[in-house]
């Protein structure tokens, strides 16, 4: 194109249009720059921060549970949890195979999860891995894969303390036992911090602390782990030997009501609950209720002595070994003839106990049982703890009063039964049952006079010496206790061939250090009496417990005689 003769450009209007458009475009660019750098500066900064700044959790470990001597029962071990940002990981499908292999996960399953969560910014890959295993995965350097510290609950004593301690879920919240009841006390509080990340999600720098993490508080139980092991071994052995369905043992300190041991069979491993049945999770010592049978006879004797109806020298004629009341015949094992009160305990006479109950003032039996904690919540605060059932019978319900006197027609938990024997071991004082150690002294209630408690304790000694519980004897120590054998209740009433074998005991007689209650559910080994099945559990436990507690023998004469016979 050439200029015209007079020097003007051809088509000047086109040139002006182009210049105008270029000028307009420049103005638009300038306006957009002003908009972005001045007017919308805060918005853009926020958008940039949203892609680079992140809030991360600062994990806090759960408080430790320990026994009365500081031995750990539940601790929190550091672990690593692997997670991913599907948006980023989805851009690198060539790494999925290596990641799946490292996680021991099928590659197609991992790929499916990444695609399903493709629009999200978070996806778990594997929870609670050991730090060494997690480090191997992170060493692959796969974009969008991260690791964060968590804590996993571990129970050093395993199934031995499982029913008391309980367990937590994968997120560290209590699900059973003490872990559940004291979750708020044990649970740590997670903190938060602000971090700077690059486009691949890698943390470049910690910027600021938003909220400080706070670890959970430790909790000390009254359990003595040494005694817990002894009780567990003794109970497990007897349950296995007798082919029993289940078993429970509770051991209390008679001076304060603290639980020294509490074990159940069947048990479970809280560190591996893959195949655990719901029935194995129950702490039967506090949640299951049973008819206690003849273990209630010492309480019936207490009612008689408290009301001055009987004295230790009172004679009761149990001949001919049966007693007819309305439509039911109460029976003894045999005809014991005339018995004093000690004899009724020694031989476990149902007829004798029933006759005493019929001599008592109205409501005396109910009130005494109630004062001993029967039908009353033991006070541990344990999840699912039961109070049992103590019916109140009217003056015309003579049969019901009679059967109550020897432990039928009412229900107790094993913890309640153990608690009811505490007054016989400490001069007549009843304490609430406690599982957690505190600095506050327990409040005791005097339920029977000290001399009455001592008299009944001496009666209980005869049961282990010459009565129904001779299999509980421990050389060198004087023990006391009471057996019980109870028909189980089925769909059609009491079953003829299924029993609960029961024993409640005190050791040693001279200075009681332990009180225990044992229930064995449906023994199938050919024997089912409380003296043959439940009482030996107490003997096995006491033999080890006295050594551990450094309790000197209080029956040296018989010990020397036994040693002389062996030599």
Per-residue pLDDT tens digits for 422-436:
999 999 999 999 999
- Choose between 446 and 438: higher pLDDT: 446
Rounded Cα–Cα distance for residues 493 and 488 (Å): 8
Residue 444 Cα distances to 204, 375, 380, 438, angstroms: 62, 18, 15, 15
Q: Nearest 5°: phi and psi at 179?
A: -60, -35
User: What dotted CATH number matches 225-273+283-566?
Assistant: 3.40.710.10
Which one has a higher pLDDT value, 163 or 171? 163
Residue 212 has pLDDT above 90, yes or no: no
Considering only residues 436 and 28, tell me which one the structure prediction assigns the higher pLDDT.
436
Higher pLDDT, 240 or 23: 240
pLDDT of 2 > 60? The answer is: no
C-alpha–C-alpha distance, residues 330 and 41, integer Å: 94
**Taking residues 399-411, what's their average pLDDT?**
96
- 445/371 Cα distance (integer angstroms): 9
Least confident of 104-118, 460-474, 553-567: 553-567
pTM, two decimal places: 0.84
- Beta strands 123-129 and 246-252 are unpaired
CB contact set of 274 (below 8 Å; sequence gap of 6+): none
**Banded model confidence at residue 193, pLDDT cuts 50, 70, 90:** low
Distance CA 552, CA 478 (A): 11
Give the residue with greater pLDDT, 150 vs 536: 536
Structural tokens at position 192: 């938060």
Q: Which fold has domain 55-220?
A: Penicillin-binding protein 2a (Domain 2) (3.90.1310)
Give CA 377 to chain center in angstroms. 17
Q: What is the tens place of the pLDDT at every residue in 97-106?
A: 999 999 989 9
Residue 483: φ, ψ to 5°: -90, 165
Tell whether the model's pLDDT for residue 122 goes beyond 90.
no
Q: Which of 158-172, 207-221, 302-316, 483-497 has the lowest mean pLDDT?
A: 207-221
Peptide bond into 421 cis (omega under 30): no
Position 47 pLDDT exceeds 50: no
Asked whether residue 1 carries a pLDDT value surpassing 50, the answer given is: no
Kind of pairing between the strands at 65-66 and 219-220: parallel
| Residues carrying an active site annotation | 294
Residue 421 has a pLDDT of 98
Q: Is residue 254 within 8 Å of 510, Cβ to Cβ? A: no
Q: CA nearest 292: which of 390, 204, 220?
A: 390
Q: What are the extents of the domains in the chain?
A: 55-220, 225-273+283-566
Asked if the model's pLDDT at residue 450 lies above 70, the reply is yes
Strand (E) or helix (H) holding 28: helix 12-34
The whole-number average pLDDT for the span 202-214 is: 69
Average pLDDT score over residue span 531-537? 97
Residue 210 banded pLDDT, cuts 50, 70, 90:
confident
CA distance 248 to 518: 6
Helix axes 96-103, 107-116, angle to 10 degrees: 110
Q: Rounded to an integer, what distance in angstroms lies between the CA atom of residue 549 and that of residue 534? A: 23
* pLDDT for the residue 237: 97
Q: What is the pLDDT of residues 337-383, one digit of tens each?
A: 999 999 999 999 999 999 999 999 999 999 999 999 999 999 898 99
Burial of 454 (0-12, 13-18, 19+ CB in 10 A): middle
DSSP code at position 111? H
**What is the DSSP secondary structure assignment for residue 416, as one 8-state letter?**
H
Checking if the pLDDT of 111 tops 70, the result is yes
Find how far residue 415's CA is from the centre of its chain. 14
Residue 543 has a pLDDT of 96
CA separation for the pair 98, 82 (Å, rounded): 15
Average pLDDT on 374-393 reads 93
H-helix or E-strand spanning residue 180: helix 177-181
Residue 349 CA: distances (Å) to CA of 23, 222, 320: 117, 37, 12
Question: Two tokens at 432?
Answer: 């609430």
Write down the pLDDT at residue 18: 74
Closest CA to 481 of 458, 460, 454: 460
Going by the DSSP 8-state scheme, the letter that residue 440 receives in this structure is S
How far from chain centre, in Å, is Cα 158? 12
- Rounded mean pLDDT, 224-249: 97
């Amino acid at each position: 194109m050439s200029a015209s003769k007079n020097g003007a450009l051809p088509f000047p209007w086109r040139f002006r249009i182009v210049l105008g458009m270029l000028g307009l475009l420049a103005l638009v660019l300038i306006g957009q720059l002003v908009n972005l750098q001045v007017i919308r500066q805060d918005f853009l900064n926020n958008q940039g921060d949203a892609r680079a700044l992140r809030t991360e959790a600062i994990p806090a470990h759960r408080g430790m549970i320990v026994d009365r001597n500081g031995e750990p029962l539940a601790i929190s071990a550091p672990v690593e949890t692997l997670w991913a940002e599907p948006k980023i990981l989805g851009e690198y499908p060539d790494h999925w195979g290596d990641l799946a292999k490292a996680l021991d996960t099928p590659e197609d399953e991992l790929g499916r999860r990444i695609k399903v969560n493709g629009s999200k910014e978070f996806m778990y890959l594997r929870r609670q891995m050991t730090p060494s295993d997690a480090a191997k995965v992170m060493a692959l350097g796969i974009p969008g894969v991260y690791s964060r510290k968590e804590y996993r609950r571990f129970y050093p004593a395993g199934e031995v303390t499982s029913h008391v301690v309980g367990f937590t879920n994968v997120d560290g919240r209590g699900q059973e036992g003490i872990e559940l009841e004291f979750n708020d006390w044990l649970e740590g509080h997670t903190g938060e911090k602000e971090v700077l990340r690059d486009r691949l999600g890698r943390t470049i720098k910690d910027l600021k602390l938003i909220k400080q993490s706070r670890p959970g508080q430790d909790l000390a139980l009254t359990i003595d782990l040494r005694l817990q092991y002894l009780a567990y071994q003794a109970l497990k052995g007897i349950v296995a030997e007798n082919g029993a369905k289940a078993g429970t043992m509770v051991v209390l300190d008679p001076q304060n009501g603290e639980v020294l041991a509490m074990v159940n069979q069947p048990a479970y491993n809280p560190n591996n609950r893959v195949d655990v049945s719901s029935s194995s999770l129950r702490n039967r010592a506090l949640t299951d209720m049973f008819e206690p049978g003849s273990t209630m006879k010492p309480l019936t004797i207490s009612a008689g002595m408290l009301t001055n109806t009987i004295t230790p020298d009172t004679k009761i004629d149990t001949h001919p070994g049966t007693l007819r009341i309305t439509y039911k015949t109460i029976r003894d094992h045999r005809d014991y003839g005339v018995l004093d009160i000690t004899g009724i305990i020694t031989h476990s006479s149902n007829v004798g106990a029933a006759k005493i109950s019929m001599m008592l003032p109205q409501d005396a039996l109910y009130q005494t049982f109630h004062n001993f904690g029967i039908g009353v919540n033991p006070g541990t605060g344990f999840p699912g703890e039961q109070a049992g059932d103590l019916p109140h019978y009217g003056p015309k319900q003579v049969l019901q009063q009679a059967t109550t006197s020897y432990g039928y027609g009412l229900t107790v938990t094993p913890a309640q039964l153990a608690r009811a024997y505490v007054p016989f071991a400490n001069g007549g004082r009843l304490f609430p049952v406690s599982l957690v150690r505190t600095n506050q002294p327990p409040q005791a209630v005097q339920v029977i006079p000290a001399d009455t408690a001592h008299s009944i304790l001496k009666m209980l000694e005869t049961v282990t010496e010459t009565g129904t519980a001779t299999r509980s004897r421990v050389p060198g120590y004087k023990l006391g206790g009471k057996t019980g054998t109870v028909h189980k209740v089925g769909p059609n009433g009491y079953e003829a061939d299924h029993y609960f074998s029961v024993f409640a005991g005190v050791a040693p007689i001279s200075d009681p250090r332990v009180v225990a209650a044992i229930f064995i559910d449906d023994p199938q080994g050919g024997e089912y009496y409380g003296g043959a099945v439940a009482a030996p559990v107490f003997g096995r436990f006491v033999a080890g417990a006295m050594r551990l507690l450094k309790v000197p023998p209080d029956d040296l004469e018989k010990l020397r005689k036994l040693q002389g016979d062996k030599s």
